[in-house]
Amino acid sequence: MKFDKNSVIGFTLLAFLFVGYFYFTRQGQIELEAKQKHIADSLAALQPLVQKSSIPSDSIKNIDTSKAEKVEVGSLLQKGEAVESFSTLENDLVKITFTNKGARPKSIELKKYSSADSNAVKLNAADFNNISYLVNVGNNETASTDELFFETGEVKKTGDGSSAIAFTLRDSSGKSIVHNYTLKSGSYSVGWDLQLKGADKLFTQNKLNLVWQVQADQQELDIQTEKRETQLGLYDENGYDYFTMRDGLNKSWESGLKWLSIKQKFFNTTLIADQGFSHVDVNCKMPDDSLKIVSQSVANMQLNLPATAEANLKFTFFMGPNDYQILKSQNIELENIVNLGQGVYAFVKYINRWIVMPVFDVIQKYALNYGLAIALLTIFIRLLTSPLIYSSYVSGAKMKALRPELDALKAKFEGDQQAFSMEQMKLYRSAGVNPLGGCIPGLLQIPIFFALYAYFNANIDLRGVSFWWSKDLSSFDAIVKWGFSIPGLGSHLSLFTILAVVTNLLIAIYSMNSTPDPGNPALKYMPYIFPVMLLGIFNGLPSALTWYYTVSNIITLVMQFVIQNYIIDHDKILSEIEANKKKPKEKSKWQERFEQMQETQKKVNAMKEKTSKKK
């Protein structure tokens, strides 16, 4: 058989690949065997006494009973076979599954909400999620509670509709650990009472070191938007604070931390400590989007225990929706995690809390659907701001009346922009026209827009609600999708965004026809460029917001037409301008300074021209 050069190279590479494969596979097996041996040794030391009644008869011969006889009194004992079992607490809102391994919540199902795959929303369902702490188990050894199997009690019901379950771990000397969980009817909060006997022996230096791991899984259609809006929220001695989640985020607190929350766009997992934490250190990671994991966080939390044999620590898990009213009812300022305005725009949260939310709540009770409710909210806001809009249009009408005179000045001082600006200001002053009169009302509406931007982004009531072609008002309404991302636009096109852009363009065209030519080409074409820029900005926003903006633009067009043609008396405005021109004018200090600056600049330019001519 003949081998050519390529065949030899190929067989050689295959040989290396096989050798490498078997080597690394064997290394992994060695590590796995070592890990399994370590776990087995730990369990043998922690839980050496096993009741015969719980072990099948055919396996009794495999147990080394001589080791059980040598266990020292005081070691934490496992009652029954070390097998993981599950129990549930349930009400009309949630179903919580607990495991006896570590005596902790295993998963939380929210009955009233569906995830992107149409199944019920589940929180803390991945294996990464855990809550545990180290305990002294005897023989100068420690173990994490997530390695220990607790005795499971029966689920108990109370008269008020609450349900409770207890998990117990005890030893022969009287030391015990009890996890009591209580779920009230109509609540997303789970009370966790940690009862300790022999606490001074179970924990070194009377400190409990709690490790809380939380994985936030993707719940919404767009994971990138969900990641941008995922935050680490907390309440310490200075009040509420938050940090936008990012890969490698690390934060520490030395004292005064009351609660810590992993907040996704519409859901959160929060741990509340009645006694507070003495120290907290949090590390966060943002896995790749393909894994459908929004974030992973590990919090190391320390609590000081009383210097007594018995201790009772009270915690609360809140695992549910970011519903402002539900969170507010907790009375611990948990409602602050709902982003109604943060950072530079934190002030708009008061517009949302005091105006937008109460009005929208009333409207949506009587509206046929949320789309109509948003339209009615838009009309209400436009009526509220109509005095500002009217003054803006009046100012625009005055500017339009002065347009012939401004055109004449522009022709007269063609090529001398500075002289034209001076004469233009004189004309405005003599006519009693404020050139900024049309801009200021518009600027005052910006906070309202940002308030609604935050509100529609955070309103969980819009989640999963359809309106016309939009299947979810809390997300974008994509009518076209492509398999790649266009910079500045994304991988889809939203219809409400197109409508918002088109109506904004119509406003720009109408406004340009009713205002003087600014002269500057950049300013001249900016009203046409800005609506196109909105296409990239709005394309990924919730359809509730782009629907609001579309309705607002339609109302603006109608108001402009009606006010300009039927309400504003243009002849009266012209007569007012002529009357103002005849009145003696007193210059304001600002006008005097501005004219002085213009005169100084004019002299400087004239001197430069003389110098250049001499050269």
pLDDT in tens, 162-217: 999 999 998 878 889 999 999 999 999 999 999 999 888 898 888 999 999 999 99
The predicted model gives 536-552 an average pLDDT of 88
pLDDT band at 254 (very low <50, low <70, confident <90, very high): confident
Distance CA 398, CA 515 (A): 9
The mean pLDDT value for 223-228 works out to 89
pLDDT at residue 589 above 70?
no
pLDDT band at 360 (very low <50, low <70, confident <90, very high): very high
Q: Which residues contact 199 (CB under 8 A, 6 or more apart)?
A: 206, 305, 306, 308, 309, 310, 311
Q: What is the reported pLDDT for 414?
A: 72
Higher pLDDT, 379 or 540: 379
Residue 427 confidence (pLDDT) above 60 = yes
Please enumerate in sequence order all residues whose Cβ is within 8 A of that of 491, keeping only pairs 6 or more positions apart, or say none.
481, 482, 483, 484, 485
Model confidence at 385: pLDDT above 70: yes
Check whether 376 has a pLDDT greater than 90: yes
Mean pLDDT of 562-569: 71
Amino acid present at 442: G
pLDDT of residue 28 exceeding 60: no
Instruction: Name residue, tokens 């290394």.
Output: 27
Residue 16 has pLDDT above 60, yes or no: no
User: Higher confidence at residue 304 or residue 117?
Assistant: 304
pLDDT bracket for residue 356 (50, 70, 90): very high
Region of poorest pLDDT, from 232-236, 312-316, 395-399: 395-399
Contact partners, residue 17, CB within 8 Å, separation at least 6: none
Residue 269: predicted pLDDT: 95
How far is the C-alpha of 413 from the C-alpha of 410, rounded, in Å? 5
Q: What is the pLDDT of residue 159?
A: 78
6: pLDDT strictly greater than 70: no
Q: How far apart are CA 546 and CA 446, in angstroms?
A: 15
Rounded (5°) CA angle 544-546-549: 110
Q: Which long-range contacts (CB under 8 A, 24 or more apart) does 377-382 make?
A: 377/548, 378/548, 378/551, 378/552, 378/555, 379/551, 379/555, 381/448, 381/452, 381/552, 382/552, 382/555, 382/556, 382/559
**pLDDT band at 99; cut points 50, 70, 90:** very high
Inter-CA distances, 95 with 183, 457, 461, 584, Å: 10, 27, 21, 78
CATH class of 84-335: mainly beta
* pLDDT tens column, 36-85: 444 444 444 434 333 333 333 333 233 333 333 333 334 565 555 678 89
SS3 423: helix
In this prediction, residue 537 has a pLDDT band, given cuts at 50, 70 and 90, of confident
- Range name among 295-304, 427-436, 474-483 with the lowest pLDDT average: 427-436
More confident residue, 128 or 486: 128
- Cβ-based neighbour number of residue 615 at 10 Å: 5
**Angle, alpha carbons 289-292-298 (nearest 5°):** 90
pLDDT score of 514: 57
Please compute the mean of the pLDDT values over residues 213-231 and round it to a whole number.
90
Residue 493 pLDDT grade (very low, low, confident, very high; cuts 50, 70, 90) = confident
Q: Cα separation of 274 and 314, whole Å?
A: 6
Cα 15 to Cα 6, 29, 362, 584, distances in angstroms: 14, 21, 74, 100
pLDDT for position 56: 35
Report the SS3 class of residue 440.
helix
Q: What number of residues does the chain have?
A: 615
d(C-alpha 430, C-alpha 418), whole Å: 19
Spatial neighbors of 274 by CB under 8 A, at least 6 apart, are 313, 314, 315, 316
Burial of 522 (0-12, 13-18, 19+ CB in 10 A): exposed
The domain segmentation of the chain, as residue ranges, is: 84-335, 348-582, 584-615
Q: What is the pLDDT of residue 3?
A: 39
Lowest pLDDT segment from 189-203, 423-437, 523-537: 423-437
Mean pLDDT of 99-123: 89
Q: What is the mean pLDDT of the chain?
A: 79
What is the pLDDT confidence band of residue 569, given thresholds at 50, 70 and 90?
low
